[in-house]
Chains A and B, each alone.
Chain A
Amino acid sequence: MTEHVVIVGGGTGGTVLANDLADRLEPELDAGDVRVTLVNDDPDHVYKPVWLYVPFGQREPDDGRRPLDDLVDDAIDLRIDRVSDIDTEAQRLQFRGSAPPVSYDYLVLATGSTLEPDQIPGLTEDGHNYYSESGATDLRDELLEFTEGDLVLSVIGTPHMCPAAPLEFVFMADDWLRERGLREDVDITYTYPIQRVHGNPHIAEWARPIMEERDIQVETFFNAESVDPEAETITSMEGTELDYDLLVTIPPHGGIDLIEEAGLGDDGWVDVDKHTLEAEAADNVYALGDTADTGVPNAGSVAHYQAGVVGQRLASEIRGRPATATYDGKTLCFIETGMDAASFVEFDYENPPSPAPPSEKLHWSKLAYNESYWLTARGLL
């Protein structure tokens, strides 16, 4: 009997896992003992870290897109479609339209994050972001016309994709405006929901003095409640009101509704064992990347490492052996500290991050990795 593995989501986690399984289970796939299907609702794979550079004119959104068909091993069945229902009792997926349901033996959910700006009144009308292709290009156009006034970067949603990106944006904006001779005419303010500038205390402790040196104002305990596009103000639940001329936000994030509807977790995040990545509420279901509620950052490196763990566990289970691979919380991030310098952090569940001194070498390492990312997606790096 053929065992069927279905991966839902063709982002970093889903794509790396599909190619990992194509390699790891090659004999079983060749023999027809195993079938792996990757489902994605877009024919393209999108590499989101490119978006940080779009507002500064250094990348185009197309630099972050490639057809999944070019990236995924031919041994994988690629299905461009959208799942409309997950039945974990019957181990069956329904698709939009009238397509027949599909049964699975193992299901991996890698559906990622979506933006939910409508949660904050006024945000859709006047808040810019670099967390989508259209947001990043719109922000590029705004920045090119922005020569003076208040630039406010407000982190609203947590957890959000790439926790380092808000710090990177203000560091890059500071540098970019200095290079253009505009910094003296622009005030930059950074807001964060808790009492420090980043969720991780070690990164916050490292970043705060850099922000002071660079004259980046900080508002902590700032949880945006509403935006008034006419008055150009953003107000927090804590009662602080900030004027802005250009508002950039990290909008609220959520997972897809299907996950909550399937009883797998709240807000679209799957409750998992943070070591095995197995869903707590259903058998034979895994989640990885942003979708897995592990408490680690929503970052591509996390999805990449978790895909390796899930790949090993699935191969063990399919071969009738005990699954022993576990995820230890490993996370790697480069953090841009300007237009030509970056830091780097590596941490896991047990060992906290210790940011490296910013250098040009690390900046080029980040850019070099972004270029070679396509090897990661193919399962080669």
Chain B
Amino acid sequence: MSEFNFEIPSKQSVKGIIFLVFPSIANTFKSAYLPLLFYVFQFFRNPEQYKPYLTHIGFGVFTLVVFSIIRGFLSFKNFQFFISNDYFVLQKGIIKKQRLEISLHKIQNVHISQNFLQRFVGVVGLSIDTAGDKTTEVIIKSLSTEKALALKKALVNSKNLKEETVVNDTVLNISFSELVMAGLTQNHFNSFYLLSVIIFGLLIDIKDITDMFGFAGFVENLTTEATSGTYFTIIIIYFLTIIIAIICSVIYSVVKVMINNYGLSVKHSKEAIEIEKGLFNRVTYSLKSSKIQSVIYKTNRLKQKFGMYSLRFNQAMSAINSNKNIEIEGLKNQNLKIFEQFVFGYPIVNRVENRAKPDPYFKTQLFIKTVYLLVLINVIAISLLGVGFSVVNLLLVPWFLFLNYLRYKKSYYNYQKDYIILGEGRIDTVTNIFEHHKIQSLKIKQSFFQKKREVASITVYTASNFMTIPSMPYAEAIILYDSLLWKVESTDLDWI
């Protein structure tokens, strides 16, 4: 065939050692960064006391680097691959030897890519996509271009995979203003929760930090002022805190959407869709419609006013797990049609009609869960913050009840000829859509209490996620279960 014989074991390109050494160093530091950070922190605080340890620390860091370099080099030496008897075999590992065998039939796709660093060194990376297997993950980080192409040919030839078609046709560009809009209409409660957790976690350290930067006593003043000042100052302080929290949440949402989605463009060919986005880390995803297992639309009250949606593709497991689920922001209702046509081959109609609501017992279930959650929150918070926390329940209880109300209101399922639509969400209105033939397995569940009420819930598993249709009358559940099974088993359509 070519000058490469893949039947004898071969290694990666020698230039690629750096791709093994660098991550190795990075990994080592990742696991050692906390003590290091602690030392640096302490050093700035109290240089005199910690200076004597400098040489020890320096020596430690040096050893770590040498150790990582050796580890990287050894993992390069032990990384071998070859093809034998219709199997692609990969051997790696220094102490724990690993041997991966992939049947060539199972290979879905072979990607060759080159990131900035790889371009700099003059090598390419190769990754192998297998169907559905969770354990196989093959990424070869550095190969010469010729060798990578030859390997791809050797892997792909056995199965006559179609060459990936080049895409050029831009279908959609999301403009800057549309993204700002999407950011502003985000579910800010999520940002608020996240920020609250971070701030709560930092609260203990804030005092130290303000002290360190010369604002000694700032926190004490504020807290004494907040607890013992006049009513006016107390109200001002709480009011300001809330305003700042809201502003921070909104800014956080907008910035997050911006960073992840800046310059979003969607290109489209017959078989694949290519999505490019990101501000600092520009990423390109190539999606094949057959690999997409389900589609999720998200909107909320505010977004709905402007007819805006965000979209999420859930893909089947692939070699690069982080790219499994892909989200796009700032879409309009009519844009969704483009994606429906691409993913399903037909537009999704009657999203609103034929909605079957869950049994009212679902409300009871939600209520019981909320009670558990409230008890848990109270037990933890009161033991940490004191009895004063119980006042917060005045806000917490109605808020949770309101969320439950929304959760019930937004729950439904909609069984259609080829697909099923599942509604859920609280602040967000979430619409899950998946085709029957994407189902991997089904589960029907009935707790002791559900049995008494003659209701049951069904969980549907696809290769990317699972979805639960909450309590519905038992007879109805059995009919749905049977017909979903019948749909999967009577079709020739494969899930990938």
Do A and B make up one complex?
A: no
B residues adjacent to A (C-beta < 8 A) = none
